Chain A
Amino acid sequence: MFKRSEHDKRPLVQIFVDGVAVAARQGDTVSAALLVSGRDARRATAVSGAPRLPYCMMGVCFDCLVTIDGVGNRQGCLVPVTEGMQIEIQKGKREIGK
């Protein structure tokens, strides 16, 4: 659904989504990188388990919650990608120890 502009010449940053290498660009937020990755990045909400994607992209709606480097319930739209970052699509409530 999303594709990158051909004029985007920013350097590549490699991140991992559920263990799979994904190419992002420097300056991407985690949510932007997930949306453009072509992967199924839908999380499951904490109570009903409804599938959701990042929505507002500005820190308000909390629909981008994701586990980043082992920490659950991070707002993916507010966190810039870094080389080697480990992303897990969060299914449901934040887990103990994450």
Chain B
Amino acid sequence: MSGEYDVAVVGGGLLGSAIAWGLGRLGKSVAVLDEGDIAKRASRANFALVWVQSKGLGMPAYTVWTVRASEAWGQLASELKQQSGLDVCLQQNGGFHLTLGEDEFGQRSELVTRMHNQAGAADYRMEMLSASEVRKSLPLIGPEVSGGSYCPLDGHVNSLRTFRAFHTGFKAFGIDYFPDRPVTAITKSGGEFRLTTPAGEIRAGKIVLAAGNANQTLAPMVGLHAPMGPTRGQIVVTERTVPFLPHPLTTIRQSDEGTVMIGDSKEEELDDRALKHSISAVMADRAQRMFPHLARLNVVRSWAGIRVMPQDGFPIYDQSETHPGAFVACCHSGVTLASNHAFDVARMVAQGSLERELVGAFSASRFGGASGANAGC
């Protein structure tokens, strides 16, 4: 026997929850060690896109991984609904990135060309559309919209409900969820991991570090490497309005219940308890230039969240060479990749080895320094 659990997942956000849920689905006994309500939790601050376009410039394997996730999301949504009764409102009918003025249109066109020219990347049919072509799908765009890029694989989801559905699933699978248990130390002896928390020790045969930006400090405890470079993002939310936006945009989406979310800022500041109104003002201004009728709506909420972000922007999946059975998983796109985490990464953790053809490119060995057993693909 190796510990009281098959697997301990460190981190109960969207990424850790997806992996834990996937392990429970495979019949494993799982403990999830989470922080508390005031954790810097991207799972509650995100923009909820299931997004493909423009992902993976500089790492073709990331486009393949992202397209795979997009294609598996339908199955995830359907399994979550069957199990929890919660409809996560997955909508995957294509998404836009709109541009204002000719300069932005030119820059976006160049990006699309570079994506197309990248060898080894999945072709996700991203294309540039003129303003009049965009208007056929989004009739309410304003006169400053010069066009935009479109990708038929893009979509969005109710990410808060997805988060809740995973946690509802924990109960059905018999997964033990422990809030207020930040892990302060990890050791391995006699084939089992011992995780120290303020409320006692947890033992498990395997561990998955899924603690977001905190992976940077946890990973070295078990011979892993997870260099992170978090940024802050702000979101502005309007009151509910009748459905007007049939496709999500990179910067604007309308939720299933009618609110309009405006997002996509990026700041160096890492305090999520405050936000800069000057940045919200630019976001709101751009949104109303894209859709002039938004100017009439009241803003009802805004918040700042800290992005989980590996240093080069691409995901990290690794297993420790010095501490076999210790895995690390971190990525920016916890919503988009949730399906891969629930199905693929959970399967790999359960079998005790990462599948190089799927995730070999994501070893942290690419950063130099300590390397995991996932290198070499």
Contacts and interface: CB of A to CB of B under 8 A. Distances in A.
Interface of A: 46-47, 71, 73, 92-98
5 contacts: A73-B239, A95-B241, A96-B241, A96-B244, A97-B296
A47 B296 contact: no
A96 B241 CA distance: 7
A93 B293 contact: no
A94 B257 contact: no
A46 B140 contact: no
B375 to A, nearest CB: 49
A46 B258 contact: yes
Contact of B258 (A71, A93, A97, A98): A93
A95 B239 CA distance: 11
Contacts of A93: 240-242, 258
Contact of A47 (B242, B244, B257, B298): B257
Contacts of A47: 240, 257-258
Given A92-B242, A93-B241, A93-B242, A46 B297 contact: no
Interface residues of B, number: 12
A36 B242 CA distance: 30
B240 A46 contact: yes
Contacts of B297: 94
Contacts of A71: 296
B239 A94 contact: yes
Nearest to B293: A96
Interface of B: 140, 239-242, 244, 257-258, 293, 296-298
Contacts of A73: 239, 298
Nearest to A97: B293
A93 B254 CA distance: 13
User: Which A-B residue pairs are the 9 nearest by beta carbons?
Assistant: A46-B240, A93-B242, A93-B240, A93-B258, A94-B241, A47-B257, A95-B242, A96-B293, A93-B241
A71 B293 CA distance: 12
Contacts of A46: 240, 257-258
Contacts of B244: 96
Contacts of B298: 73
A96 B293 CA distance: 7
B238 to A, nearest CB: 9
A39 B244 CA distance: 31
Most buried by A among B240, B293, B297, B298: B240
Contacts of A96: 140, 241-242, 244, 293
A73 B238 CA distance: 12
B261 to A, nearest CB: 15
A98 B239 CA distance: 13
B2 to A, nearest CB: 48
Contacts of B241: 93-96
A83 to B, nearest CB: 25
A7 B242 CA distance: 43
A1 B151 CA distance: 56
A93 B240 CA distance: 6
Contacts of B257: 46-47
A94 B238 CA distance: 11
A92 B239 CA distance: 12
A96 B244 CA distance: 8
